Structure 1
């Protein structure tokens, strides 16, 4: 029997996760509305997190944002999980194809982006580490979902597949068909399913026979000529081999 989660701890984590996604910070009132919680119950938690510098107020305002102590935790995770060891490989992908490369893991039904390197092009995908997007709507998410069984995927989206654009796959059978192709060595892809005018290709990364992360390259549609797509796929395949070798040798566990 699964042990019940600690409600007070859940509230602390909900606050941190909510604020991590708010680039301009949030007032206590906005935070209470977002979490459907009374301000009176949130204030002592927020105050304590602020005193320990996990949160801070934006200068001259009452808007809370993530503080420097949170950076210490994130840096420790990056070091211990092996993300920093993968950074050079990600940079090599960008150098080869001149497009944005991202590393992500599965967080329930979402992709959590944990590392990225931007394209040097003036027009490029805009994203940031810590973002979450529905996995069914992204190439990197599909690559991650390929590590689950069809039954697990159906259970994950028991309430239906989220839609981000008019091109997002919302039919579970169509999604499962794509996941089957990825499991058989195919490349995950999407075209305007997560963002208009953007395409993406991705591959799952394996450690010990299981998908532990995925790597993607995103490119604006106007640069999606055949030669570019071929270069992206080749770059991802080379990076996949290098990262999986690093993960096995150093026993990283993202």
Structure 2
């Protein structure tokens, strides 16, 4: 439960926050009753707050009557300094790669046990993909996700490997042992690939973006940069080189 703010002294702000905090990775779409229970609020109060949040585009109400986080709230979240700086620094590099390849280009970070797409560039010539800016997808089935999982803390990696590993297509890697071997290879090679694992007809290649070490910190993988194309058979080396050069440029400009 997100917390109980139904006490007489609870402010409007605290009640509103409790409604927003009712949503998390495991609870993305909630009914009004579920929000009320998780927020510890009376149902009538919850209904009123939900109406106001929907009117302000902080939440959206689906055709099934359930609520989800709205785009406006996502845009506000992107103002957090670390992600704002990352998107700003990476933007010209994504544009250069997209202009050269006309492929879908992704900038992503790990958010818990999922990939969060901070930016995406695509065009008419791009392979159709399910990702969009602000969306979250499984770590084990995407190129950027495999990079982020390979360099994630041990406890995160073990939680993902413990499953379940959803099968998105017939080619999705769902065997923990096989996925572990792939992640070991990613760390050795410095890049990840997928073939038809998230979407049929789509292959991807991705590399880590590493924040440089300083006197007080160790090098840290802060994001992943990836490209989605129909096939990697002929262009793998060219695409990998372009990604690595871009990732190095982004890293040099990160503060």
Pairwise TM-score range, normalised by the shorter structure:
0.7 to 0.9
Q: Cα RMSD (Å) of the superposition?
A: 3.6
User: Larger helix proportion, structure 1 or 2?
Assistant: 1
Equivalent residue of 2:199, what SS? Answer: coil
Using the TM superposition, give the Cα deviation of residue 142 of structure 1 relative to its aligned residue in structure 2, in angstroms: 0.5
- Taking a change above 3 Å as real, the CA distance of residues 169 and 122 of structure 1, as seen in their structure-2 partners, is closer
Aligned twin of 1:40: 43
Compare relative contact order (CA 8 Å, sep 6+) and give the higher one, 1 or 2: 1
**Distance in 1 between the 2:206 and 2:4 partners?**
36
Give the Cα–Cα distance (whole angstroms) in 1 for the partners of residues 33 and 161 of structure 2.
23
Q: Deviations over 1:47-97 (max 9, x none)?
A: 242355524679xxx897766753651452377433122100011111222
Task: Return the TM-score normalized by structure 1.
Answer: 0.75
Where do 5+ consecutive residues of structure 2 fail to align? Answer: 6-16, 214-218
Contact 1:102 1:116 in 2 (8 A): yes
Q: Which residue of 1 aligns with 2:186?
A: 182
CA contact (8 A) 2:103 2:127 kept: no
Q: Deviations over 1:119-163 (max 9, x none)?
A: 451654353101111100111100001112555411234333222
Matched, 1:200 2:204: yes
| d(CA) in 1 for partners of 2:31, 2:66 | 13
Aligned mates of 1:95, 1:56 — CA distance in 2:
34
Aligned to 1:44, the other structure's residue is in SS state helix
In structure 1, runs of 5+ residues without a counterpart are 22-29
Selected match of 1:12 from 17, 20, 28 = 20
Number of residue pairs the alignment of both structures matches: 231
TM-score normalised by L of structure 2: 0.74
**Do structure 1's residue 219 and structure 2's residue 218 form an aligned pair?**
no
Distance 2:26 2:52 in 1: 17
